[in-house]
C-alpha cells in the first residue's frame, strides 16, 4: 500500500509540474524538505520583491476529516494518476514500485480499481487497543501506519487542485498569488501571497479542517528548519533549531572520547556545516550558527586545528565565499 501510494504521489507531482508549464499555476504544493522554499526565496530575492511570509498548521487533519471525504479524494487522485501515467499497473517490489504495462510473472501489482479498493479497506479497518478494549477508527486519516502520510498528502492535494482548477480561469490573480505556497503534510508555508491564502483558505479545504496561523505578523517566521525575515525587499534565511529555546543543556553530537572512528566524527561536523550553509543566505547568520557549533565541538574534545581544516575544505568545495560575497576563511580563529 505504502509503495503503491508513493508511486501515485510521484505521478501527481509530475502531473502538477506539467500543468505549471502550461498554465503558469503551481498546483504542486507538496514538498519533502526545505529545498523548494529556499529556491523560491532565491528567485524572489533576485528581483528584490520579498513582502511577506505566513505559516499555518492543521490541527484536525488526523482526527476530524470524514472517511467519506477521504475516499472521494483518494478515488479521484488514484484514477487521475493512472490516467496520466498511461500504464495499467503499479508493480510493487520489496523496496520500490513503478508503472508497468506487462508485469513479470509473480510480481505483485495494483490495478486502479484494486488500489482504490485497498485504500478503502484500510480506512475501514484501522483498529487499536487500550487495555482490554479494542476500537476502530471511523474518522480522520489513519494514524501510525506507513501509508498515513501519503493518504493525508493526496487527500489535501485533491482539495487544493480542485480549488485551483476552478479558480485560475476566473480569478487568475488569486492563483498566481498562491504560486509560492508549500505544504509538508499538515504544515503550510505561503510566501508573498499578500493575504490571499488566508482569505481563501475556507474555499480550499473542508470546514472540518481547522487551520491555525503559527507566526505573528508577516515579516518573520520559523519554517521547518529555516528562520525567515523580510528586510528591504529580501528574504534573509538562517537555520532554525527549536532546541535553542530549551532552558537546559543538551548534547547534540558524539564526544571525541566515544568508541567511533574519528573520520566519522569529523564527518558529522562537515555535514552540519553543509546543512547550515544551505539554510543560510546571509553570512552573519551562517557565522553565528557555525561559531556556536564550533564551540560545542571543542567542549566535546575535538581538535581545534582539525575542525578548522574541515571548515576550510567545506568553504572551498561549496564556494561559500562566492555565495556570501565575503572572505569566509579564518573565521574560526
Sequence spans of domains, the chain? 2-234, 242-324
pLDDT tens string 140-192: 998 889 999 999 999 999 999 999 999 988 999 999 999 999 999 889 999 99
Phi, psi angle pair for 257, to nearest 5°: -85, 0
Cα-based torsion angle of the residue sequence 293, 188, 169, 48 in order, rounded to the nearest 10 degrees: -30
Answering whether pTM is above 0.85, one says yes
Cα-based torsion angle of the residue sequence 93, 99, 104, 109 in order, rounded to the nearest 10 degrees: 60
pLDDT tens string 248-259: 888 889 999 999
List, in sequence order, every beta strand (DSSP E) within 10-61.
Answer: 53-58
Judged against a pLDDT cut of 80, whether residue 300 lies above it is answered with yes
Judged against a pLDDT cut of 90, whether residue 244 lies above it is answered with no
Judged against a pLDDT cut of 90, whether residue 62 lies above it is answered with no
Rounded to the nearest integer, the mean pLDDT of the chain is: 93
Judged against a pLDDT cut of 90, whether residue 56 lies above it is answered with yes
* H or E element at residue 291: helix 283-299
pLDDT tens string 188-222: 999 999 999 999 999 999 999 999 999 999 999 99
Cβ contacts of residue 277 below 8 Å, gap of 6+?
A: 286, 314, 318, 320, 323
pLDDT tens string 134-148: 999 999 998 889 999
pLDDT tens string 117-139: 999 999 999 998 999 999 999 99
Q: Which DSSP category does 261 fall into?
A: -
Amino acid at each position: 500500500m505504502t509503495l503503491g501510494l508513493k508511486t501515485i504521489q510521484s505521478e501527481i507531482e509530475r502531473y502538477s509540474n506539467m500543468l505549471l508549464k502550461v498554465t503558469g499555476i503551481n498546483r504542486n504544493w507538496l514538498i519533502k524538505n526545505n529545498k523548494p522554499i529556499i529556491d523560491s526565496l532565491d528567485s524572489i530575492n533576485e528581483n528584490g520583491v520579498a513582502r511577506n511570509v505566513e505559516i499555518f498548521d492543521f490541527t484536525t487533519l488526523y482526527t476530524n476529516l470524514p472517511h467519506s471525504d477521504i475516499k472521494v479524494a483518494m478515488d479521484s487522485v488514484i484514477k487521475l494518476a493512472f490516467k496520466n501515467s498511461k500504464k495499467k499497473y503499479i508493480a510493487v517490489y520489496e523496496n520500490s514500485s513503478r508503472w508497468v504495462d506487462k508485469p513479470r510473472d509473480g510480481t505483485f501489482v495494483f490495478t486502479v480499481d484494486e488500489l482504490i479498493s485497498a485504500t478503502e479497506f484500510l480506512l475501514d479497518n484501522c483498529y487499536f487497543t487500550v487495555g482490554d478494549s479494542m476500537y476502530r477508527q471511523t474518522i480522520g486519516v489513519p494514524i501510525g501506519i506507513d501509508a498515513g502520510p501519503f493518504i493525508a498528502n493526496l487527500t489535501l492535494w485533491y482539495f487544493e487542485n480542485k480549488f485551483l482548477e476552478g479558480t485560475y480561469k476566473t480569478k487568475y490573480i488569486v492563483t498566481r498569488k498562491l504560486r509560492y505556497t508549500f505544504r509538508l503534510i499538515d504544515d503550510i508555508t505561503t510566501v508573498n501571497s499578500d493575504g490571499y491564502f488566508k482569505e481563501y483558505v475556507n474555499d480550499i479545504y473542508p470546514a472540518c479542517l481547522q487551520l491555525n496561523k503559527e507566526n505573528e505578523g508577516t515579516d518573520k517566521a520559523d519554517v521547518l528548519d529555516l528562520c525567515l525575515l523580510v528586510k528591504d525587499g529580501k528574504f534573509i534565511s538562517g537555520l532554525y533549531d527549536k532546541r535553542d529555546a530549551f532552558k537546559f543543556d543538551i548534547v547534540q553530537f558524539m564526544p571525541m572520547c566515544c568508541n567511533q572512528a574519528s573520520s566519522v566524527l569529523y564527518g558529522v561536523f562537515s555535514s552540519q556545516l553543509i546543512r547550515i550553509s544551505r539554510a543560510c543566505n546571509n553570512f552573519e547568520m551562517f557565522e553565528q550558527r557555525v561559531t556556536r557549533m564550533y564551540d560545542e565541538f571543542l567542549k566535546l574534545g575535538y581538535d581545534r586545528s582539525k575542525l578548522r581544516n574541515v571548515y576550510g575544505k567545506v568553504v572551498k568545495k561549496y564556494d561559500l565565499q562566492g555565495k556570501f560575497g565575503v572572505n569566509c576563511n579564518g573565521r574560526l580563529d
